[in-house]
Structure 1
């Protein structure tokens, strides 16, 4: 079972010795099959109260299936879902204390902003005075108090998304699930809404499970990332852990930009590759001889470092304000990416370069 920073505590039941993970949300051996097709391998993890966990991965990786299993939109083939210590695996969607936010806002066009936000409270039979108070405080939280009387058609995309978020936060569900909620927004508005959701999470203390395929979004917003691939959990950890210490070549390649050199580990301190023999980080170990060395572009420098160097020819230069990205072609045509700071000398197109890295700035992965 996966436990990481921010996860619940793993304990053993005193009578059976069974390992149990304690947390706000616990999934144990949860899996889904459609005939011979596996949509999700049996998976286990826990989410602590107040945590922001992102399910990240490419299309078909199992992240949306896992979200649907948690909320009950899809029936599990095996395993269980435990929320606040109660097994809710067989409960229908409407009986699970879960809030849902989707990419499409699904606002009621005939209701005002305030009426849209009040709707889930009315459906739960809350008193009018309580509804008015909660709607007012939630409108303040999403900075929409001045638009309470407007209809959805009179709002921008970002404002509509904030209404959808407020409608979910207002009734204070035990867990909030978000499925690509920013997918319909443009880049600038998307980045603004990322900050808004982080603020809402911090101020409300809500437990959030968030689905996205956008790696930058996951890095920016999450307490932890659950990286998924081929219908299973590839790696679970904080954004820093996954970015700086990926466990597999897939994790390194999917999160950010990486230079990956595949080769044969000598069982000691070097990796033999078609591009040369490279010194490994001190204490590096791998489960097999077939391994790969990962170097992030910001850890590559012009010139040899610690005996590690590769040669190439500059094929492209991309200026991005605070950094300049240099793309070079190695001898076999494969790309090499360097990030240079504003004070670093920038080579010319078609210039031959040598790039190196400090051995402890690389990561050995399977």
Structure 2
């Protein structure tokens, strides 16, 4: 069971999930989970396949019926409300555009289905086309558009009728890396300009960090950690969170009486105030916090096994004595060691994070 997590800032709650659970016979797809999403917030459900993120999204929109718990939208219990009556917009990985309709007609479709007046439909479609920068393509058919343009039409079709909440399930999964990064910027802009409340599903950690006000990290059908991208990256609460979000070096060990952690790679000083539960713990050090040479008493030795140049940084992968990998990030101008060179990498004790 996970307690309700407060939404970001002072936003009033738009969506509240209370002890929501889904079971299929003996299999639990989502353990009892609770969270609150603020008005206009961008919350990302992040996690590996099978972590429960898509199940949670489907429970929120009503595509799947909950075994237990409640879904509250704008203060009203919507747990038994049919999906088409929840005032929720859906955007999926596959665009699902009508091939026989033009771009403008695709975007107008949800408004026509809701019986809106012709003048209102024309105005809203025109405004939304401009918002997604597709006004010049209004009379084209989906087959005449690129993948990125089709995805923008799918987004516009959802934004045009101003649903209470917009749910997105891996909407950029079918795009190549460069187009995906471009569309991330487009989604951020659309979110900012529309003020929509968005719940977004992805397994891509970089995408989650780039888009989100907050991230709900999921693992084994439950919420692992919920917080801002900075909080989850800089202060992970578990080894899974540290390992899944970004690159991490993790040293597991046993606490000693003098405030250190005894590991297979040496005795390391713990951050000030850190305590190990049950005498066990793991130190997490991000690659950018490691530097060549001993530092603040914490250091490990290894042999460079890989050098990866990535433009703004050079990534060094060193093999430790037991075969484990150590990852360092070196910035422009820093001296890069050679392949097979023996190195010592150190870190300041307050740059590490202790997790269970």
Same fold (TM over 0.5): yes
How has the CA–CA distance of structure 1 residues 188 and 35 changed in structure 2, closer, same or farther, with 3 Å as cutoff? same
Task: Quote the residue 2:105 is aligned against.
Answer: 115
Distance in 1 (alpha carbons) for counterparts of 2:18 and 2:81: 16
- 1:241 maps to 2:231: yes
Deviation, 1:7, is 6.3
Task: Quote the residue 1:257 is aligned against.
Answer: 247
Distance in 2 (alpha carbons) for counterparts of 1:320 and 1:70: 40
Distance in 2 (alpha carbons) for counterparts of 1:150 and 1:268: 71
Q: Secondary structure at the match of 1:331?
A: coil
Match for 2:310 among 304, 316, 320? 320
Give per-residue Cα distances to partners, 1:222-276, cap 9 Å, x unaligned. 0000000000000000000000000000000000000000001236521110111
Distance in 1 (alpha carbons) for counterparts of 2:249 and 2:33: 30
Q: Secondary structure at the match of 1:129?
A: helix
Distance in 2 (alpha carbons) for counterparts of 1:39 and 1:237: 22
* Kept in 2: contact 1:7–1:47 (CA 8 A): no
Distance in 2 (alpha carbons) for counterparts of 1:157 and 1:202: 23
Q: Secondary structure at the match of 2:13?
A: coil
Q: Secondary structure at the match of 1:241?
A: helix
Q: Secondary structure at the match of 2:277?
A: coil
Task: Quote the residue 2:56 is aligned against.
Answer: 66
Match for 1:131 among 121, 126, 142? 121
* Kept in 1: contact 2:5–2:34 (CA 8 A): no
Task: Quote the residue 1:6 is aligned against.
Answer: 8
Deviation, 1:95, is 0.6
Q: Secondary structure at the match of 2:278?
A: coil
Distance in 2 (alpha carbons) for counterparts of 1:8 and 1:331: 50
Deviation, 1:289, is 1.5
Task: Quote the residue 1:213 is aligned against.
Answer: 203
Query: What are the residue-to-residue correspondences of 1:1-366 with 2, within 5 Å?
Result: 1-4=3-6, 6=8, 23-266=13-256, 269-366=259-356
Distance in 2 (alpha carbons) for counterparts of 1:104 and 1:334: 40
Where does structure 1 differ by over 6 angstroms across 4 or more consecutive aligned residues?
none
Deviation, 1:283, is 0.9
Give per-residue Cα distances to partners, 1:310-335, cap 9 Å, x unaligned. 00000010011111000000000000
* Kept in 2: contact 1:304–1:356 (CA 8 A): yes
Q: Secondary structure at the match of 1:176?
A: strand
* Kept in 1: contact 2:319–2:326 (CA 8 A): yes
Distance in 1 (alpha carbons) for counterparts of 2:259 and 2:224: 26
How has the CA–CA distance of structure 1 residues 231 and 293 changed in structure 2, closer, same or farther, with 3 Å as cutoff? same
Give per-residue Cα distances to partners, 1:47-99, cap 9 Å, x unaligned. 00000000000000000000000000000000000000000000110010100
Give per-residue Cα distances to partners, 1:116-155, cap 9 Å, x unaligned. 0000000000000000000000000000000000000000
Deviation, 1:4, is 4.3
TM-score (ref. length: structure 2): 0.98
Q: Which runs of 5+ in 1 are unaligned?
A: 10-21
Deviation, 1:290, is 1.5
Q: Secondary structure at the match of 2:44?
A: strand
Q: Which runs of 5+ in 2 are unaligned?
A: none
Q: Secondary structure at the match of 1:24?
A: strand
Q: How many residues align?
A: 354
* Kept in 2: contact 1:4–1:236 (CA 8 A): no
Deviation, 1:5, is 5.6
Deviation, 1:8, is 6.9
Distance in 2 (alpha carbons) for counterparts of 1:223 and 1:360: 26
Kindly report the root-mean-square deviation, in angstroms, between the aligned alpha carbons of the 2 structures.
Answer: 1.1
